Structure 1
């Protein structure tokens, strides 16, 4: 079992000593750790924990106690410091007390401890403050600015690689879709979009139509293969090299057959007008009826 040395007699000798508060607290802590002969060896960290003072304040307090004879430090051992509490050697020195012993505040005047009377007013210039004993090291954490970055718009983007200049409102709508999906807009994104827009242009889609499709379908990106090929202009022919689905081919065949029938019927009507109403060729009528 480890013996716990606490000298009550030594503590009783230390309590009456008059000195500044920080050295007094450190002295009481050392006396509480000391044996009957006044020896103790607590670490600075331990003294800081017991007195609630910072490391710098404790070091200064130990120096003050050693200078006034209340403590003697033995630092011959490189691993620890041995303190000897000697309250009998304490030299109060220039400690001065006013006649009124009921004073509540103390002040330092050229190193002389003075107790002030209750009715005495302390001047602001005479205020003596002890160094902050709980000072923290400056934080290395980088704080983010409270200012929000300006929203990205069509005017802030370089869209020169796109097949044609887009409508700024449609670009802003597309940017809002990407922002809602937490997708950034980088040069790589703009280049990839330009490639897909060129493929879509070969299928008959303009840049504005592609952007409109992205906004309506909530697409953050575009794939040309997602789009249906469009017919060129108002004619019936699809754009060159555009693939045709089976439904489109069937519709085209039906349209061609209907066009042929209309042309044949027109030709028969024209021949009927030339031969008269009762002289239309029966063979032609029979072919038309059979058709």
Structure 2
């Protein structure tokens, strides 16, 4: 009713814009209390122009102002009889023109009587809020398993290998042991506890055969062996690769040393579950008789 009564009025553009803005903020009784700054922002005018337009509307009888100390100014839109009759719009009833004074800083929506508002605004249903549905507790869940590498272990596992038990090993200098670990690392054969136990057993056979553990590991690294077995060392010594004890090459062995080496080779074969050769058995017999 208030907005529809404002459109036919004839007045300067600035005053008309301010009046329409106030009517848009007003309730069904034509009461509103917007600030000058908010009206200025809506009609694209300066604060001074809005204030002059409000003064003109008051002087012409279109507005009634009520000051509230410490609060915003209350405006009530009025329609002079001459302007309303000239526009062909019926004047509002006295009950609608004299509303009770507002008690809040913002107008509350009130129920519009049917006699005042013959064309009620249609109720607009807000669109439904579309959100992500909550998964059912019974629905299967996707579980991301840790990725595995080519060795079959999960990524992150094995980053810190467990400490090895070095007690089965014979006496080895730290430098030789560090070189041997680096040698296996270059061959991508990390030393496990099982491999260490087998290495310790073979090194004890080498020590029993007159080698030192340092010399045996040095020969293994020299020949490029990833593992180590005492019979490999004996075969290499038979081919002239090294001599027992000092790790030297090119020394001619005495018959006693040859019998001792053949005896140790037979012992290594028996330790690995292989049958000793005839030469090894005869050499071992001779070695025992000589002892």
Compute the TM-score of the two structures, normalised by the length of structure 1: 0.32
Compute the TM-score of the two structures, normalised by the length of structure 2: 0.32
Q: Which has the larger radius of gyration?
A: 2
